[in-house]
Amino acid sequence: MKRINANAVIVHSSEGQVSAKSLGDLSKASKENGIEVIYILSVPRWSFHVPQTLFEMNEEALWEKYQQKNIEDYRVQIKEHQREIQSLETGNIKVIPVAEDLCTPQCRIMSNDGTPLYYDAHHLTLTGAQKIRPSLKPIFQSE
């Protein structure tokens, strides 16, 4: 990390795929080199393949499935993982939540024009990535 003059490491994964221990180990090693760890929390996951579901379902059935998750559901789902991350106390982990960009308060699976925000159950399309851009923008701005 030092050889390339990195000042930060950005970590993102699906919910629960990065353990607090692994993140803590990375954080300690990074801190020794003056490098910040930026951890982007997971996006809301769905129990179905979003584009396939959009294609196959009629509007009424889609609305029922679409209403199944909101921001509070997501917060409950990640609460334990978030608590573990906050308990690390390494001082160089910056946590970036992005779910609020997709859940206002209902979590969205498509844009206003009907474009899917996900290309499966938990990976964002470019349209979905544009939705979380406001939360990520400060990471890439120069100081």
**What does the alpha-carbon distance between residue 85 and residue 53 come to, in Å, rounded to a whole number?**
33
Residue numbers of the chain with a pLDDT score lower than 70: 1-4, 16, 58-67, 142-143
Which residues, 6 or more positions from 86, have their beta carbon under 8 angstroms from its beta carbon?
95
Distance CA 128, CA 135 (A): 13
Q: What pLDDT, on a 0 to 100 scale, did the predictor assign at position 71? A: 94
Tens-digit pLDDT profile for residues 26-55 = 988 888 888 899 999 999 988 888 888 888
pLDDT at 1: 44
Give the per-residue pLDDT at 87.
84
Q: Are 30 and 9 in contact (CB under 8 A)?
A: yes
Q: What is the pTM of this model?
A: 0.83
43 in Cβ contact with 98 (< 8 Å): yes
Picking from 120, 94, 96, the residue whose alpha carbon sits closest to that of residue 109 is 120
- Output the CA–CA distances (angstroms, integers) from residue 14 to 17, 139, 141, in the order listed: 6, 19, 25
Structure tokens at 55: 């294609």
